[in-house]
Structure 1
């Protein structure tokens, strides 16, 4: 089976540890194979290649958390990549022993991925393979951030930090479709302009003073934007956190948090049922994931290089159907 594999790790040059190779895998008992039609890339893949979240003793590891494909009986599915422990009952994201595909089990950047049966979620037929492959990480995370962690309602204002990233772009599209007033920040005028084209109501330079304070902030950047996120909130507002691409140890600014009754809510990915709800949301509203570009497996190293350089707007999709 041809796949994209992390064979070694380098914090400074992560792409150097990536190989495109053939592997024969031995899946866990009871797991089902999904023939992958499309996968998508995430910063999680780069973190794994840098040695964050993926212990070196688990190498080589097939990368990838997102995919859509076909079961042996022809059922079209989206892969839910949050794998709960076998004896866990309840919400998968709260299982302290949960893992993601490509952390303990081989991931989705392969011709075939094996998953527990419940992680093969029926794909809504209105979605293309490329669109469905964008959902399990970035769009599911954004969906949960907006409507569960931040608990936003139509008419409220949300600030999305770092326009251009997968989760941020998803939050703009989903938030606008849900009737939110969506503001974004970005360091580059090109990404601010593109965010406005996608539906953001206002776009600001990173760290800029805003016209008014907001009900919630979607935070995936971390240290570089944390102070601004707290200052941007109205009293009682919430910062919903699902990442820290610029660093995870900013000053807490606890005086501001308790004096203004701010809430900080963390979340990771989403549940199987939320992935079902997300597909219904897309089918009902007509919103579709923004695809930056489509490549094949051979193009994964250069695509990850673009991602590492911040030269991406939306999702990079890896088409595997033509490689069967």
Structure 2
């Protein structure tokens, strides 16, 4: 079958590990289902896979793609949940120490077919296209959990999103506006700030800019480059929710500010199957749709990966099959 995959780990030049070609078609073991992939979205995790982060060398070659939407063998249209937990685990699967994502132990969605546990294939709302549905499982689910499960915000309060144009950031802007929060963002360029405002941000600021006032919560996926600004932006008692550190680890934790102002720092990773189901319902009820910055055929996967590597995104990058 056709697939986009990482041939081997390439820490310094991730694109060098990328291959577009043929891979064996998967068979679904008992309790799993086979999905004909119609669309799959690109995530930073795919670049980490190409670099060899979070995956053992013996797992290569590995088909890329955490997210996807497609059709079961009986014709049911589904959205994929990419967190695969221990079958014996009960409760929040994001806390399962043996959990994994597609592309870590199991082959991913950038292919004609993917197999997943039956519970990981959720019904796709009819109002969502396959491309839109393919954005939900990682970036949008991460944003949903950050905002509605971990932030403690109430409608009417002010949130700051660091970085205006990535998949998680654009989802936070859209979800926050739809839920009644005052949404502020930062962005490196005028184009990125304009994109955030077009998606519903009430105000957009240059990276590191002094804000008109402090905010109730900051949402971080950037890390080192924005950490100090995030800490300074919070009101006393405010919350910083972090789900990534694309620019590296923070150079200083700013502990005096943390304890003196009684700030909360909350880690957030992905989300649960139930949260994904709620997210799909929320989008279906509100008409909210993800910002897709580029929709490309799978054959042009390298183009999409290079755009993500260079930080040239304007929402989600989605790959589709005919």
Q: Into which bin does the TM-score normalised by the smaller protein fall? A: over 0.9
Q: Quick check: 1:115 aligned with 2:116?
A: yes
Alignment of 1:1-324 (within 5 A): 1-24=1-24, 25=26, 27-320=28-321, 322=322
Distance in 1 between residues matched to 2:202 and 2:275, nearest whole Å: 26
The 2-side partners of 1:316 and 1:198 are apart by 16
2:40–2:135 CA contact under 8 A, matched in 1: yes
Distance 1:125 1:101 in 2: 25
> Aligned to 1:175, what secondary structure does the other structure show?
helix
Q: Give yes or no for contact 1:85–1:95 (8 Å, CA) kept in 2.
A: yes
- Equivalent position SS for 1:142: helix
Deviation beyond 3 Å, 4+ runs, structure 1: 25-29
Offset of residue 126 of structure 1: 0.9
Q: TM-score, normalised by structure 2?
A: 0.98
Q: Post-superposition shift, 1:267?
A: 1.1
Q: Would you say how many aligned residue pairs link Structure 1 and Structure 2?
A: 321
Q: In 2, are the aligned partners of 1:149 and 1:265 still within 8 Å (CA)?
A: yes
Going from structure 1 to structure 2, the CA distance change for 1:218 and 1:203 (only over 3 Å counts) comes to: same
**Any conservation in 1 of the 2:227–2:250 contact (CA below 8 Å)?**
no
The answer to whether the Cα contact below 8 Å between 2:170 and 2:196 also exists between their aligned partners in 1 is yes
Contact 2:27 2:34 in 1 (8 A): no
In 2, the alpha carbon distance for the partners of 1:206 and 1:121 equals 38
Query: What secondary structure does 1:288 align onto?
Result: coil
- C-alpha deviation, 1:226, in angstroms: 0.6
Question: Displacement of 1:249 after TM fit?
Answer: 3.9
Shift of 1:237: 0.6
Q: After TM superposition, give the deviation of residue 224 of structure 1 in Å.
A: 0.5
**Superimposed CA distance per residue, residues 118-173 of structure 1 (whole angstroms, 9 cap, x where no aligned partner):** 00011111111111001001111111111111022210100000110100000001
Structure 2 unaligned residues grouped into runs of 5+: none
The offset of 1:68, in angstroms, is 0.4
- Over the aligned positions, Cα root-mean-square deviation in angstroms equals 1.0
Distance 2:73 2:28 in 1: 15
User: How far apart, CA to CA, are the structure 2 residues paired with 1:5 and 1:98?
Assistant: 22
How far apart, CA to CA, are the structure 2 residues paired with 1:26 and 1:245? 35
Q: Is the 8 A contact 1:292 1:314 kept in 2?
A: yes
Q: Supply the distance in 2 between the matched residues of 1:248 and 1:96 (Cα, whole angstroms).
A: 22
SS in 1 for 2:68: strand
- Name the SS for the 1:246 alignment partner: coil
**C-alpha distance in 1, partners of 2:250/2:60?**
28
Asked whether the 8 Å contact 1:39–1:66 carries over to 2, the reply is: yes
| C-alpha separation in 2, matches of 1:270 and 1:282 | 16
Counterparts of 2:63 and 2:96 in 1: how far apart (Å)? 23
Per-residue CA distance 1:246-284 (angstroms, 9 max, x = gap):
002431111111111111111111111111110111112
Q: Secondary structure at the match of 2:137?
A: helix
Asked if the contact 2:176/2:182 (under 8 Å) is kept, the reply is yes
Is the 1:222–1:250 Cα contact (8 Å) retained in structure 2?
Answer: no
Q: Distance in 1 between matches of 2:16 and 2:27?
A: 26
Whole-angstrom CA distance in 2 between matches of 1:31 and 1:44:
23
Structure 1: which 5+ residue stretches go unaligned? none
SS of equivalent to 2:149: helix
Determine helix, strand or coil for the equivalent of 1:146. Answer: helix
